[in-house]
Chains A and B, each alone.
Chain A
């Protein structure tokens, strides 16, 4: 009996042993519900990159990655449940892919000591690392995006947009309202008129907003949408014959899904991005060989190279590089969430590093520091080519207007620190 018990205990310890040493990454995905069409490619990209590292390199620094997927359905309550259900066993980092879930997780993750990476979404002022110790939103945030759109319009008008009108069509939610203050501040600086046009969730009916655009004839329309709101807005813009080249969406309004319903007539539509597009990168050959052809792809393997697959893969790559940084800093392979946070805070992405990974020219260089959790705030503009059936970069990476954005970040984050009695760090 004693021997049996000893055998059982030994087996249990052996079974538990490798799991404790693994690098646990949780993918809070949404493959079901109204936003599944966007959640699937992102999650496929996120998971396939980690699978590649496991299959090709034997994990990171000799430690295998234990990837755990949890379905949120883009529902904030389910997202919090996923976090609570998976946060044990040293989950290294969460990428919620939802501004709503992010807002709920910021206090929880901060209390639990688990880093959040909200890449290009979430609470913008989390850029201030002296207030938000556990939250990172590199390489760019919403306010950077608003500034990139205005910079692009400035460039098209020889730097003078004092007589121009810009309309913001936005999802009537915390996410959609994010760019308003930045656009208002930029309006004071550059002199353009700003019209605000909120669209109620989910955004299937936007006739009123587009009739107003048709009447008032703004020179440019900037869109902050998600899901069906994007497809309907682009369709309505086509219907009223709004010039597509003057219609610019945030990066969450710029995937192949968004232009599909409008078809060829969406040709020329523009969207911001903080990374490059397409599948012409060596890393994709490896993903094809080690992941897709081996039957290990997270999805059907048909999303590779799409905008959102690239973004998911990029998010995974940045997480993996943070793991490597943490391993180097602490001299251990099996890092803890706190060490992961250190890795994220000391992350440096250079072109040399990207090329070595198999992603040359895929994204801008950036550095994360204790004070700056948001990276360098670089972004570019892409344009939909209907004939080729893909988005293509049409500009270099723009630097966002740091003079205005830093001020807004400071104001918002300091008020958060005051409300939550947070002691500032990074001195």
Chain B
């Protein structure tokens, strides 16, 4: 088999894995948009905040320690204990649910029936607030995140492919875990949305706020639930990306990777986020592999958007998005 083809297969597989990581971020956007019509600009910052909180809890860091020390002249930084990863993840979830409740109570319940652009602007404000709040709460230093996920080349795949092709493929163990977690997450979310009472209520709210209210569905509860779910997805994305690069404030920029995925997959489809992520991941990696060397490389960022735009021309609602028809 030609060398270029073998390498292309490796690039293809890595593109799929990268796509899963993009999809993890996109999922949070989809959940909130699906239930409330809000394009949540703060989804990337939520991933950052969740990851910061997780590391802070795991390391026993005192929240707001810089503020406390400055105000009272103390030197407190750590509680002196370490929390196991699983317990810390659960505690972080509690924080994310509390955040969801606060966001709803303080912002969105006051903005019911407002124009989508107003809601979007509110999420921009939320993003900047949350970024500053996370900084004050946990500090701006880069934090190592280790929840026990393996990293580095998968030796089995390396050996098997070497025996077949004479060239061992590189697949990162962390990416394999991310794929497994994303698959479970999507299955769980689809089951939740289709087969549970709360899930059906969520879909009802998504279809028509007024109609859902008229049959006794609590809009507040649904919105808190959806923001909590988005918080959980943000936590998963934060863990995967934070393990790669350390938890730091540029983590909020991962939202940029989710936008073309949303454009392609549609803003309202959970499977669409996954399929969109895979297409973007594979597309940008293969383009960089084949065309990149001819044009000086660094094509991935812009090519993802070009690919999404091409799909938009033919399906403006995205691959799996709902076609919105408004009759006069």
Binding site for B on A (CB under 8 A): 31-37, 40, 172, 196-202, 204-205, 207-209, 211, 214-215, 227-228, 231-232, 235, 238-241, 257, 260-261, 263, 295, 300
Contact = CB atoms under 8 A, between A and B. Distances in A.
Given A31-B140, A32-B140, A263-B144, A235 B297 contact: no
A62 B321 CA distance: 71
A367 B134 CA distance: 45
B105 interface: no
Interface of B: 7, 10-11, 14, 17-18, 66, 69, 73, 131-132, 135, 140-144, 146, 151-153, 170, 172, 241, 244-246, 248-254, 257, 285, 288-289, 292, 296-298, 300-301
Nearest to B249: A34
Contact of A231 (B73, B245, B254, B285): B245
B289 A208 contact: yes
Contacts of A196: 296-297
A44 to B, nearest CB: 12
A202 B253 contact: yes
B291 to A, nearest CB: 11
A205 B252 contact: no
A261 B244 contact: yes
Given A35-B250, A239-B153, A261-B244, 18 more contacts: A31-B140, A36-B140, A37-B141, A37-B248, A40-B140, A197-B297, A204-B250, A207-B18, A208-B289, A208-B292, A214-B170, A215-B7, A228-B248, A228-B250, A235-B151, A238-B151, A260-B144, A263-B146
Contacts, number: 112
Taking each of B17, B135, B142, B172, which has the highest tally of chain A beta carbons within 10 Å of its own beta carbon? Answer: B142
A214 B289 CA distance: 13
Contacts of B73: 295
A231 B18 CA distance: 17
A238 B153 CA distance: 9
B11 A211 contact: yes
A33 B48 CA distance: 12
Contacts of A202: 250, 253
B135 to A, nearest CB: 6
21 contacts: A34-B253, A36-B135, A37-B142, A37-B249, A40-B140, A40-B141, A197-B297, A198-B297, A199-B298, A204-B244, A204-B250, A205-B18, A205-B300, A208-B11, A227-B250, A228-B250, A231-B248, A235-B151, A240-B153, A261-B144, A300-B66
A196 B293 CA distance: 9
A34 B252 contact: yes
B284 to A, nearest CB: 8
Contacts of B18: 205, 207
A98 to B, nearest CB: 15
A211 B301 contact: no
A34 B48 CA distance: 11
A200 B250 contact: no
Given A197-B297, A208-B285, A235 B14 contact: no
Contacts of A239: 151-153, 170, 172
B289 A261 contact: no
A212 to B, nearest CB: 8
Contacts of A201: 301
Contact of B245 (A33, A200, A208, A235): A235
A211 B253 contact: no
A208 B241 CA distance: 17
Contacts of B296: 196, 198
Contacts of A300: 66, 69
B135 A32 contact: yes
A126 B90 CA distance: 54
Contact of B244 (A200, A227, A232): A232
Contacts of A235: 151, 244-245
Given A215-B7, A231-B142, A33 B249 contact: yes
B304 to A, nearest CB: 10
B298 A198 contact: yes
Contacts of B297: 172, 196-198, 209
A262 to B, nearest CB: 9
B142 A261 contact: yes
A231 B243 CA distance: 11
A238 B151 CA distance: 9
B38 to A, nearest CB: 25
B245 A261 contact: yes
A204 B249 contact: no
A319 to B, nearest CB: 25
A238 B246 CA distance: 14
Contacts of A197: 297
Contacts of A37: 140-142, 248-249
A239 B250 CA distance: 21
A202 B292 CA distance: 18
